[in-house]
Homo-oligomer: A and B are copies of this chain.
């Protein structure tokens, strides 16, 4: 039995609030149960030095957690003087996943920065960030299209993410914090709209996992991602 009483293959309630703040070109509050992440997309008419003059754009991401997004207050990374390894790992993952969905040449010499800031954490903040950031990215690009700054969309696929894991010996979908901290195995799946994998990251937190367990987790995650992608499209009014 899951702590949340959910069935093994049941997602948490998923909600997108577009336009959550007013300055960003895309601003989406994504809520997966009690996990709430504010994803903003900021468009800037310049690219990092390594891309200058190549006629290509760039998609990057930054991730942060408010100090009291968690049960125990965590130290603010700005006061520590650096981002931790976990933060860097997550923001590299978000950026990489969204770049997989965008034709950077079609974007032109522009950067879009996805800032994913966790207001409240209950497990799955990295997958929620990716899921929400894709919607914010869409809003930012739709704005560029609407203003005529782009003639066609450089986004060629849909991106969503979910976690799966083995909890009390049972493969379960979309782990919350109570499950995540006790899971034997934890896997994050990121997939495109055609059901192909953009990223697979499975970790044996406790005991190593067999090929059979891996297969069960992949199937569970793929089914969950299909539901999430339906919700993303609904949020965008499609």
Contacts and interface: CB of A to CB of B under 8 A. Distances in A.
A42 B196 CA distance: 43
Given A23-B68, A85-B89, A73 B42 contact: yes
Number of copies of this kind of chain in the complex: 6
Interface in A121-145: 121
Interface string A83-99: 11111110110001000
A231 to B, nearest CB: 20
Interface in A1-48: 21-24, 27, 34, 36, 38, 40, 42, 44
A208 B115 CA distance: 24
Interface string A200-222: 11111001111100100010001
A24 B68 CA distance: 6
Contacts of A198: 203-204, 208
17 contacts: A21-B68, A21-B120, A23-B69, A38-B66, A42-B67, A67-B113, A78-B83, A85-B92, A88-B88, A89-B92, A194-B208, A196-B208, A198-B203, A198-B208, A199-B202, A199-B203, A199-B204
Given A23-B70, A73-B115, 20 more contacts: A21-B36, A21-B120, A23-B71, A64-B66, A78-B78, A78-B80, A81-B81, A81-B82, A89-B92, A96-B203, A157-B208, A192-B208, A196-B207, A196-B208, A196-B210, A197-B202, A197-B208, A199-B203, A201-B201, A201-B202
Contacts of A222: 211
Nearest to A43: B73
A119 interface: yes
Contacts of A40: 66-68
A50 B134 CA distance: 34
Interface of A: 21-24, 27, 34, 36, 38, 40, 42, 44, 62, 64, 66-71, 73, 76-89, 91-92, 96, 100, 113, 115, 117, 119-121, 157, 187, 191-192, 194-204, 207-211, 214, 218, 222
Contact of A21 (B69, B100, B208, B210): B69
Interface residue SS majority, chain A: mixed
Contacts of A79: 62, 83
